[in-house]
């Protein structure tokens, strides 16, 4: 069954870029959504230079009006894959995390995937093998100090993923959380400049795992996937 169109948020760099490139290699038209126009446009041009199809759509995924406009732009065309990859990271002790910081982390990592998934749902329902992939984090299965806001957001995203998987099952839409360990991305290096590169999962590996999920036969799904730095793949409840 042919997959034809994907929407990838945070598509201008890191995991989003790697996911978009791999999907384009599978002859899927990729809509690259990202806050920085120059970044998503650059990745779109990179895909086109390799013979693929891509469209850049600059968008702050926390802007409700902007998301509504994006949904109108998509129209009634089927979307086979939605990747909620856009996110932000905060390293801050619990006691000194401001309300503004908490609101931002919850908005971009939890509320935005909720609103965007709802906005694109009519398009996903037109696909014969639709997937919503929410990019999570290793913090959903192991706790770390200094990232309480981020952890709360990603654990909330995991709960949302499970709820949508149940609610959208009659529509034959698989909803899966893909949670990488520390990844070799700009966001990781900004947060942890001294991290050992050997501890990092490459974005291309994450993209390959995502492709394995979205290319499953219709009606087949996976609950949670955690990709660890030793390249072991753990699947389970």
How does the average pLDDT of the chain come out, rounded?
90
57 noted as active-site residue: no
Distance CA 132, CA 121 (A): 9
Say which residues have a Cβ less than 8 Å from residue 54's Cβ, sequence separation at least 6: 20, 24, 29, 30, 31, 32, 43, 44, 47, 48
Choosing from 132, 150, 158, 207, the catalytic residue is 150
pLDDT at 16 over 80: yes
Q: What is the mean pLDDT of residues 135-157?
A: 91
Instruction: Grade residue 190 by pLDDT with cuts at 50, 70 and 90.
Output: low
Q: What is the mean pLDDT of residues 85-92?
A: 93
Q: Kindly report the number of other CB atoms within 10 A of residue 136's CB atom.
A: 25
Q: What is the mean pLDDT of residues 60-88?
A: 98
Q: Answer with the residue of higher pLDDT: 56 or 143.
A: 56
Domains of the chain, each with CATH number or no CATH:
5-236 (3.40.50.720)
Picking from 51, 29, 123, the residue whose alpha carbon sits closest to that of residue 11 is: 29
């Amino acid at each position: 069954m042919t997959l034809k169109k994907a929407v990838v948020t945070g598509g201008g760099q890191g995991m989003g870029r790697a996911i978009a490139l791999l999907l384009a290699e599978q002859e899927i038209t990729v809509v690259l959504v990202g806050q920085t126009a120059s970044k998503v446009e650059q990745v779109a041009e990179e895909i086109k230079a390799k013979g693929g199809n891509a469209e850049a759509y600059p968008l702050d995924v926390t802007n409700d009006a902007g998301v509504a406009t994006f949904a109108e732009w998509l129209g009634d065309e089927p979307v086979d894959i939605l990747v909620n990859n856009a996110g932000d990271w905060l390293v801050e002790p619990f006691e000194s995390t401001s309300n503004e910081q908490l609101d931002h982390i919850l908005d971009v990592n939890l509320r935005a995937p909720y609103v965007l998934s709802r906005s694109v749902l009519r398009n996903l329902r037109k696909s014969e093998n639709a997937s919503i992939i929410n990019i999570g984090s290793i913090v959903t299965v192991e706790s770390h100090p200094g990232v309480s806001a981020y952890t709360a957001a990603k654990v909330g995203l995991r709960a949302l993923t499970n709820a949508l998987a149940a609610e959208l099952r009659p529509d034959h839409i698989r909803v899966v959380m893909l949670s990488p360990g520390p990844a070799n991305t700009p966001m990781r290096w900004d947060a942890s400049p001294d991290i050992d590169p050997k501890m990092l999962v490459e974005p291309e590996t994450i993209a390959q795992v995502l492709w394995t999920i979205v290319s499953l036969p219709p009606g087949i799904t996976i609950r949670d996937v955690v990709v660890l730095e030793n390249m072991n793949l753990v699947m389970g409840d």
